[in-house]
Amino acid sequence: MNNQDNYCIIMAGGIGSRFWPLSRTNKPKQFLDILGTGKTLIQETFHRFKKICPTENILIVTSEQHKELVHEQLPELPKENIIQEPFRRNTAPCIDYANFKIHAKNPNANVIVAPSDHLITMESEFVNTIEQALDFSSKNDVLVTLGIKPNRPETGYGYIQVDKVEDKVKNRFKVKTFTEKPDIELAKVFYESGEFFWNSGIFIWSLKSIMKAFTKHLPEVHSLFKSIEDNINTEKETESINSIYSECKGISIDYGVMEKAKNVYVIGADFGWSDLGTWGSLHEHSLKDNRNNSANTEDVLFYDTNDSIINVTNKKITIIQGLKDYIVVDTKDVLMICNKKEEQKIKQIVNDVKIKQKEDLL
């Protein structure tokens, strides 16, 4: 039996620009089956958390533009559990909005916050770790995040430095510092020190603890939602939210709360996690041939090609010859050929396409 006090906030407001041209504004990567499993990333995430929370306790935060897409892909989720943000304001405001939605129903809730587009390959280990974190957070005034033990010096993830072991058996640590994505030399130092975890962006806390933290560390955001608290879950909610969101600053939960709070803990875990933030990370987790190439269809033929990822949406034979470390994405209206080592330039490419007033391609 699921614990009726367990709630989950799934953040699905991103636009996935680093997965362009497959990910578009009208259908970002969380709504795509980029792993070829038959389920989209948001469907995978939703079904994972159904093992921990009752369906009616799962909330999806997304944009107005994507509300119907969420409902189409998650038809069993009550429509009122799809929270619409009028503007993108980063993670802190969307979390606090959902906090007030939950508070109106259950002030004693324990809450999990997670992105909608991560890969988890070891689900039973993941569920066990979340339940351990829920047990800890429900009994203590703490803010918990899940840290992934690094297996390489990675520059694409944020890091968490730990201070001391709180509980060796449960692999629980007091957080010392949060660090943004490092360069390769600093990443090597972090990796070799043994004091750092990758920041998974998955959080667990009691509703009381996180609302107290917002009151202390982000009062300018929290007070806006507090001012319309009586309108939450009523017919006045949409109008009230539209009004305050224009005043609400955009700030991440990491900057706004986690880096300031003194009661932050990390539980170190290994459950086959990736944030699937780039084509390179998708390649890493895809089935590959004996020359380390991956493709989303059997209609791709490789010759003298290594370490490349090919994604084609047109039903045609695709021949790839003589490439090494490349990303090739062919959609109905865009062909992108990009060196995998230079994929950070995709965001710039998207901006250039926008400047050329090709908004229909974004």
Question: Which domains, and CATH codes, for the chain?
Answer: 6-274 (3.90.550.10), 286-361 (no CATH)
CA–CA distance, 266 with 178 (Å, rounded to integer): 11
One digit per residue, the tens of pLDDT, for the chain of length 362 reads 358 999 999 999 988 888 999 999 999 999 999 988 899 999 999 999 999 999 999 999 999 999 999 999 999 999 999 999 998 999 999 999 999 999 999 999 999 999 999 999 999 999 999 999 999 999 999 999 999 989 899 888 899 999 867 666 678 999 999 998 888 999 999 998 888 999 999 999 999 999 999 999 999 999 999 999 999 999 999 999 999 998 999 999 999 999 999 999 999 999 999 988 899 999 999 999 999 999 999 999 999 999 999 999 888 899 999 999 999 999 999 999 999 999 989 989 999 998 887 788 88
Q: Which two tokens stand for residue 27?
A: 């259908």
The SS3 of residue 92 is helix
CA–CA distance, 141 with 136 (Å, rounded to integer): 9
Burial zone of 315 (CB within 10 Å; 0-12 exposed, 13-18 middle, 19+ buried):
exposed
Residue 106: Cβ within 10 Å count: 15
The pLDDT of residue 354: 86
CA–CA distance, 178 with 198 (Å, rounded to integer): 10
Asked if 222 and 211 touch (Cβ cutoff 8 Å), the reply is yes
CA angle 116, 68, 32 (to 5 degrees): 45
Beginning with the edge strand found earlier in the chain, give each strand of the sheet holding 294-295 in spatial order: 294-295, 309-312, 326-330, 335-339
- Distance of CA 235 to CAs 60, 80, 232, 239, Å? 19, 11, 8, 8
Asked if 217 and 256 touch (Cβ cutoff 8 Å), the reply is yes
**pTM, full prediction:** 0.94
Residue 163: Cβ within 10 Å count: 13
Count the alpha carbons within 13 Å of 13 in the hemisphere toward its beta carbon: 23
Q: Which two tokens stand for residue 54?
A: 């009752």
CA–CA distance, 339 with 90 (Å, rounded to integer): 30
Residue 194: Cβ within 10 Å count: 9
The pLDDT of residue 50: 96
The pLDDT of residue 1: 39
The pLDDT of residue 298: 92
The pLDDT of residue 272: 92
The pLDDT of residue 166: 67
Give me the sign of the Cα torsion angle 211, 213, 214, 219.
Answer: positive
CA–CA distance, 128 with 112 (Å, rounded to integer): 13
